[in-house]
Structure 1
Amino acid sequence: MTAAAPTNDLLAQEFVQFSVEAGVLRFGDFTTKAGRKSPYFFNTGFFDDGMKLMRLGEFYARRLLASGVEFDMLFGPAYKGITLAAAVAIGLAKHGKNVGYAYNRKEAKAHGEGGTLVGAAVKGRVMIIDDVITDGASKREAADLIRAAGAEPVGVAITMDRQERARDDGEDRRSGVQYVEQTLGLQVIAIATLADLMQLLATTGDPALAASKDAVAAYRARYGIDA
């Protein structure tokens, strides 16, 4: 596979640096959902206070507004997507775009308003907000919920595109992001990618960060897709 080329994406570099400083992006020995040993780990659960969450929402908002994709509301799949959608709605409002947001319950509620959907009425063009895409299955479920409500999903906004294959077996060598775009027909808008992370590691003046560069490059060489 080819090496990750420098992206020179200033917003992405700012976000990756912020994620490191916030303790959300960590380096060491981790096991991914796919069972792979990874030298880095990105966990949005560590955006765990008001300031971090406010800045995260602003990063999402800036990326979404710069993308040019038109949308009327946000949808956050349970559970991480709920908090993220709320943060992004606030970030967008600060930039002059006020939109509603909704989310789903894992189990339907039998009392009160009932059903599985909560928040603004799901209608029009809907942007799904989530943290990452692993194999795309949960994004298919979210898209199905949105269509069942009579609306149209137009894209998925995520924090980090790991740019790696979803599966090690079989002939499908695509990443989860590629699956969502090519099979589900939804545009994926990532604040940053693995290539952006590698650029930071290659240019940082922090020896502790630079020490992870070779391990991350080796991981990409083994599991990555062609960017």
Structure 2
Amino acid sequence: MDWKKEFIDFSFKKKALKFGTFKLKSGRSSPYFFNSGLLSTGKDIIKIGLFYAHSIIASKIKFDVLFGPAYKGIPIAVATSIALKNHYNLNIPYAFNRKESKKHGEQGDLIGEKIHNKKIIILDDVITSGTAIHHSIEIIEKQGAQISSVFVLLDRKEKGKRNLCTINHLKNQKSYEIISIITIEDLISYLLEDKTLKKHIPDLVQYRKKYGI
């Protein structure tokens, strides 16, 4: 729990993790919000890369390439590649997708390492219903690559719209393992130990009952 606590402390300090009332992309009203875009300094991204690198090494998963979905996954993939080299002497390449198609110059949907027949780790910041992850999976599968795992900073563990694409669907149907630095349960456990933040627990628990998987 120490490294999980360290990440939550870090996120609160940078105001990337907040409590209140937030409207999500899904239309849901959430009592908490995580914005990795605020972790935007050189020191921040070095730390984020280390969290991912330590988690990847601890997982003992075999992989060849890091994949960062545009846009937030791009700096994550770069930072993690650097951390793996600096701390574990692993020279791991990365790739990321374009959101806009390019018809000239370096054409194609991907930039970076060629991923055909490679084992891929997807790196993203937050997973809610799994819709965005499905999009990355589709991109990678079209390239003839194999997905080793999905790593995220925060797994909100929520149902997908109309239950069409939940985390359980990803795990059971596709057999893709999702590994997170923290989950909503870790966040609630953290709040239990903080007298000031403890007041937010009922809202998180109620939200979890309504949308959680």
Render the CA deviation track for 1:19-44: whole Å, top value 9, x for unaligned. 11111111111112222221110111
Whether the aligned pair in 1 keeps the contact of 2:66 and 2:120 (CA below 8 Å) is: yes
1:175: how far off? 7.2
Greater relative contact order (CA < 8 Å, ≥ 6 in sequence): 1
Render the CA deviation track for 1:41-84: whole Å, top value 9, x for unaligned. 01111111111111111111111111121111101111111121
Q: Secondary structure at the match of 1:164?
A: coil
| Number of aligned positions between the proteins | 211
% identical aligned pairs: 38
1:145: how far off? 2.2
Q: Secondary structure at the match of 1:70?
A: coil
1:95 aligns with 2:87: yes
Give the counterpart of 1:213 among 198, 201, 206: 201
- List aligned pairs for 1:1-227, cutoff 5 A: 9-96=1-88, 97-123=90-116, 124-167=118-161, 169=162, 172=163, 176-205=166-195, 207=196, 209-225=197-213
Normalising by the residue count of structure 2, what TM-score does the alignment of the two structures yield? Answer: 0.91
Whether the aligned pair in 2 keeps the contact of 1:24 and 1:46 (CA below 8 Å) is: yes
Q: What is the distance in 1 between the residues matched to 2:177 and 2:124?
A: 13
Q: What is the distance in 1 between the residues matched to 2:153 and 2:146?
A: 22
Q: What is the distance in 2 between the residues matched to 1:49 and 1:78?
A: 19
Letter in 1 for 2:192: A
Q: Secondary structure at the match of 1:118?
A: strand
Following TM superposition, the consecutive aligned residue runs of length 4 or more in structure 1 with deviations greater than 6 angstroms are none
Whether the aligned pair in 1 keeps the contact of 2:63 and 2:119 (CA below 8 Å) is: yes
Structure 1 segments unaligned to the other structure (5+ residues) = 1-8
Q: What is the distance in 2 between the residues matched to 1:215 and 1:141?
A: 31
Whether the aligned pair in 2 keeps the contact of 1:77 and 1:130 (CA below 8 Å) is: yes
Q: Secondary structure at the match of 2:174?
A: coil
Q: Secondary structure at the match of 1:160?
A: strand
Q: Name the counterpart of 1:4.
A: none
Whether the aligned pair in 2 keeps the contact of 1:161 and 1:177 (CA below 8 Å) is: no
Letter in 2 for 1:153: I
Q: Secondary structure at the match of 1:99?
A: coil
